Amino acid sequence: MIYNLQIFGAYFAQFLKTRMSYRTDFFVSLVANILVGATGLLFVVFLMDGKNITELNGWSRAEVLFIYGYAMISMAIFSSVAINLYGFGNRYIIQGQFDRVLLRPLNSLAQVLFESFNLDSIGSLLVGLATMLYAARILGISIGMLDVGWLFVSSISGAVILISVFVVLSSVSFHFEDRIGIAPPFYNLISFGRYPITIFNRVIQFILSWVIPFAFVAFYPATHFFNRTGFELLCYLTPLVALVSVVVAWVFWQFGVSKYESTGN
Amino acid sequence: MALVEVQNLRKSFRTFKRSEGILGSFKDLFSRQYSTLNAVDGISFKVEEGELLGYLGPNGAGKSTSIKMLTGILKPTDGEITVMGYHPFRDRRAYTAHIGVVFGQRTQLWWDIAVLESLKLLAKIYRVSDSEFKSRLELLTETLGLKDLLHTPVRKLSLGQRIRCDLAGSLIYGPKILFLDEPTIGLDAVGKDAVRAFLRKINRDLKATIIMTTHDLKEIEELCQRILIIDKGRIIYDGSLERVRTLPGLKRRIYLDFAGSAPESKLNEIFGTRVAFERESERRLAGSYDPRELSTPELVKEVFANFDVADFTVSEPELEEVIMKIYREGAGAL
């Protein structure tokens, strides 16, 4: 474990070195990322700031914003490594880069995930955190040490759930040689996890909870902070759902690796 | 026990026939005709410690697929591989810590960082101690001539430089066995020479076991004591380089230098169809003959008895000719 931390720490250090050598590029994309995050947020703010819409299916504007900010945090952590899964089929399978991964005495999935990082996502992490704190003030939520701990655990869990889902989707590339893969439509599905789940119909609610558990990315864990009943069990199930997701993802991944065909030489 | 043991190894791929045209590819979306291709079709061999084995075969014969199974990248469909007691695919993580791999076509190093940084990162991954790293780096820098390359990012290296750095990367952690897949592909003569000299050195001095695929016959001639020829997924030859030269049907060449003008017509009269002579120069003739039909001593004796010969040499068939014949005729040539 310590060995793995050292190695992937070294990977990160190397990545930073190369990234820092293109400084302007780094700052430009950081700013761009903050803008993208802020635009998405403004959409929600304006949508619910009209005279008529002050609540969404029983959820107040501040609550919706709180969940939205919460989701941005998990997603920022997710997208800091997900950049490697994006285009996995093309880069690793079709171009055969996965050979190199398999030749190292390290976990193959960890190598893919930690090969490069998307540091710009720190921008949306900050926007998300600010949104959450702003909404918390309106709602009169006081945040203690324990709450901070929960925020930490649950947002990591949320990111792990997202990563696991996309690892499963990427594993499909081992079986069908295809440049794009099946993941892209699911990137859009992530946004379902930014809203209170009860605004969707029952089928979608079920899917978002137990099939593609995006509701555990922000909504369920965020209810910890609200004065509402009915979600207590699901809320604290979040770390467990993350754990199960990892196991499922690992099984899919391992099966995929055993079917890897490599490209001809 | 042998270092490498391969038993009835097989790898089959499922491929599908692509239909022609846009309509065809649309049809392929819904129904595909699959067929199974046995890229490697039941091969067995052993490699002892310290051997330098050349792995030959025409394109698409199954060389790369074999190497990929031997290095743990591909899971065998059937059969058994044991290398140093490991099963390459099953024990991948433990196994890859003990092997070095260089693919001529693709680098194993990090594209964007300097060579030295890559080597340091590898040392960390393979848990090489500082003192070991220092002494190996020194040795590799010297033998591979890396001194001026260490601070260059990999992406800025020429192909020849990159291969040398890749070799360094695969040896920095002291692997017991080295797998090379076309290590000199695309290199110029100087680059090939450098790599060849280096491989010979580590095989002789460090007793490194090397398994390499190549299309370069000069390389095989200079390096390999033993060759394995694979064709259509099966091993059609496994043995010494010397034995392959004695294949039936291969012609030998004799070069004759005469004191005066070369008596071509007279020679033709004596030997008839048994020797085909060609004139090389005014005083020099080359003749090719099948040693089974006419033995070399017999030929030489007869020439000396009839002519005034200044000098002669007999040459073995060129390896290229041998290999071409095997590639062309498959197992039938043997």
Rounded Cα–Cα distance for residues B99 and B301 (Å): 54
Max Cα distance, chain A (Å): 65
**pLDDT over 90 (residue A209):** yes
**pLDDT over 80 (residue B116):** yes
Contact assignment for A102 to B75 by CB distance below 8 Å: no
Provide the sign of the torsion angle of the four alpha carbons B240, B243, B245, B247, taken in this order.
Answer: negative
Token look-up 């509402």 returns A228
Type of residue numbered A184: P
The predicted complex's ipTM stands at 0.82
Residue among A17, A100, A262 minimizing CB distance to B74: A262
CATH fold for the domain made of B4-245: Rossmann fold (3.40.50)
**pLDDT over 60 (residue A265):** no
Structure tokens that stand for B210 in this block: 């090397």
Rounded Cα–Cα distance for residues B194 and B140 (Å): 13
pLDDT, tens digit (0-9, with 9 covering 90-100), for A104-120: 999 999 999 998 888 88
Type of residue numbered A73: I
pLDDT category at A241 given cuts 50, 70, 90 is very high
**pLDDT over 90 (residue B120):** yes
Structure tokens that stand for B215 in this block: 């299309």
pLDDT, tens digit (0-9, with 9 covering 90-100), for A42-66: 777 776 665 566 778 888 888 999 9
Q: What is the pLDDT of residue B34?
A: 76
In B258-282, which positions are buried (b, 16+ CB within 10 angstroms) versus exposed (e)?
A: beeebbeeebeeebeeebebeeeee
pLDDT above 70 covers what percent of chain B?
96
Test the A interface: residue of B92, B119, B178 with most A CBs within 10 Å:
B92
Average pLDDT over residues B179-202: 88
**pLDDT over 70 (residue B170):** yes
pLDDT, tens digit (0-9, with 9 covering 90-100), for B124-139: 999 999 999 999 999 9
Structure tokens that stand for B174 in this block: 């002291």
Q: What is the pLDDT of residue A176?
A: 82
* Residue B293 · residue B222 · CB < 8 Å: no
Pick B30 or A139 by higher pLDDT.
Answer: A139
Please give the helix or strand (H or E) that residue B83 lies within, else none: strand B78-83
- Which residues lie closer than 8 Å to A49 by C-beta, 6 or more apart? A61
Q: What is the mean pLDDT of chain A?
A: 88
Rounded Cα–Cα distance for residues B181 and B177 (Å): 13
Domain locations in chain B as residue ranges = 4-245, 252-316
Q: Does B92 touch chain A (CB under 8 A)?
A: yes
Q: Which of A19-33, A100-114, A171-185 has the highest mean pLDDT?
A: A100-114
Q: Which of A173-182, B81-90, B96-105 has the highest mean pLDDT?
A: B81-90
Structure tokens that stand for A3 in this block: 């060995």
Q: What is the mean pLDDT of chain B?
A: 88
Taking the CA of residue B310 and the nearest CA in chain A, the distance in Å comes to: 51
Could you check whether B4-245 and B252-316 share the same CATH topology? Answer: no
Token look-up 């309509």 returns B23
Rounded Cα–Cα distance for residues B243 and B227 (Å): 10
Query: Of the candidates B96, B97, B48, which has an alpha carbon nearest to the alpha carbon of residue B70?
Result: B96
pLDDT, tens digit (0-9, with 9 covering 90-100), for B14-62: 876 666 777 777 777 677 777 888 899 999 999 999 999 999 988 888 9
| Residue A56 β-bridge partners | A59
**pLDDT over 70 (residue B334):** no
Q: What is the pLDDT of residue B253?
A: 87
CA end-to-end distance (rounded Å), chain B: 29
Q: Which of A27-41, A137-151, B100-114, B283-297 has the highest mean pLDDT?
A: A137-151
**pLDDT over 70 (residue B183):** yes
Q: What is the pLDDT of residue B189?
A: 86
pLDDT category at A72 given cuts 50, 70, 90 is very high
Q: State the CATH architecture for B252-316.
A: 2-Layer Sandwich (3.30)
Max Cα distance, chain B (Å): 79
Q: What is the pLDDT of residue A120?
A: 82
Average pLDDT over residues B308-319: 84
Taking the CA of residue B30 and the nearest CA in chain A, the distance in Å comes to: 14
Q: What is the pLDDT of residue B140?
A: 92
Pick B334 or A126 by higher pLDDT.
Answer: A126
Residue among A14, A102, A259 minimizing CB distance to B92: A102
**pLDDT over 80 (residue B245):** no
Average pLDDT over residues B110-114: 86
Average pLDDT over residues B136-158: 91
Q: What would you report as the CA-atom Rg of chain B, rounded to the nearest whole angstrom?
A: 25
Q: Which residues of A touch B (CB under 8 A)?
A: 3, 6-7, 10-11, 14, 17-18, 96, 99-100, 102-107, 258-262, 264-265
Average pLDDT over residues B240-268: 83
- Which residues lie closer than 8 Å to B104 by C-beta, 6 or more apart? B163, B180, B181, B182, B183, B184, B185, B186
Structure tokens that stand for A97 in this block: 């880069």
* Helix, strand and coil percent figures for chain B, each rounded to 5: 40, 30, 30
The sheet with strand B177-181 has its strands ordered as: B99-103, B177-181, B209-213, B52-56, B226-231, B234-240
Name the residue in chain A with its Cα closest to that of B71. Answer: A103
Q: What is the pLDDT of residue B325?
A: 78
pLDDT category at A185 given cuts 50, 70, 90 is confident
